[in-house]
A and B are shown apart, each in its own frame.
Chain A
Amino acid sequence: MHRETMKRELTITGELIDESVLVSKRRMSGGMGATVYFTGVVRSDEEGKSIRAIEYEAFQRMAERQFELIFQEIEKRWPIESVRLVHRIGVVKVNEPSLWVEVIAPHRDEAFAACQFLIDEMKRVVPIWKKPLVGSIS
């Protein structure tokens, strides 16, 4: 059976991640039964220190290339209809999302597996770095 090419949408942005807007733009074909969402949020402590934010830096062109390689690997391994990913760069405050992922698939097994793989691989190879900004907001 011919499988359609997996749709992918990557956004690396300094803008706030608006999860409700992103979810409202979900598109699923009739054969899809699972959507997995992951949101990565900045915690208030990093390596035992209280922080107010994290500053993210990306080598953007290479990040785009490495994400594409990950998407290609996902497409080889699982029957995923689409992946959307948003990663913030710049200063992201505590409790704000730094990462948002949506994976759509026929069933939950492959949706969860692809999402886990995407995040694990991102943390291994995508050139994005974080710098904790120390001190709490009083």
Chain B
Amino acid sequence: MQVTVRFYSYFKDLTGCAETTETVPERSTIADLLGKLSARFPKLGAMQKSTLIAVGVEYQGRDYVLKTGEDVSLFPPVQGG
């Protein structure tokens, strides 16, 4: 199944893009997706511990099971204000 992955803040610099798609097996988790993305974008992989993840507009944990067509966003710790 395919999911859309969006990057925010300096994660765009680490990956060279603001958006991409990734194909993962059915019932893959966010952890599985991160593994694939780390292989594709090694500099992003180095930030795994501090990476925040959203599906749609809600935060999700790494054990979240993805559904086809979902929108996943990856970003560093937030800094509003």
Contacts and interface: CB of A to CB of B under 8 A. Distances in A.
A122 interface: yes
Given A57-B8, A59-B8, A59-B73, A128 B58 contact: no
- Looking at A57, A62, A131, the one whose CB has the most chain B CB atoms below 10 A away is A62
Interface residues on B, range: 10 to 19
The majority secondary structure among interface residues of chain A is: mixed
Contacts, number: 59
The majority secondary structure among interface residues of chain B is: loop
Contacts of B81: 40, 87, 98-99, 119, 122-123, 128
Given A59-B8, A123-B81, A65 B58 contact: yes
A123 B58 contact: no
Given A127-B8, A127-B75, A129-B8, A65 B57 contact: yes
Contacts of A76: none
28 contacts: A40-B81, A57-B9, A59-B8, A61-B57, A62-B58, A63-B80, A64-B57, A65-B57, A65-B58, A87-B80, A87-B81, A99-B80, A122-B80, A123-B79, A123-B80, A124-B78, A125-B78, A127-B54, A127-B75, A128-B78, A128-B79, A128-B80, A129-B8, A129-B9, A129-B76, A129-B78, A130-B79, A131-B9
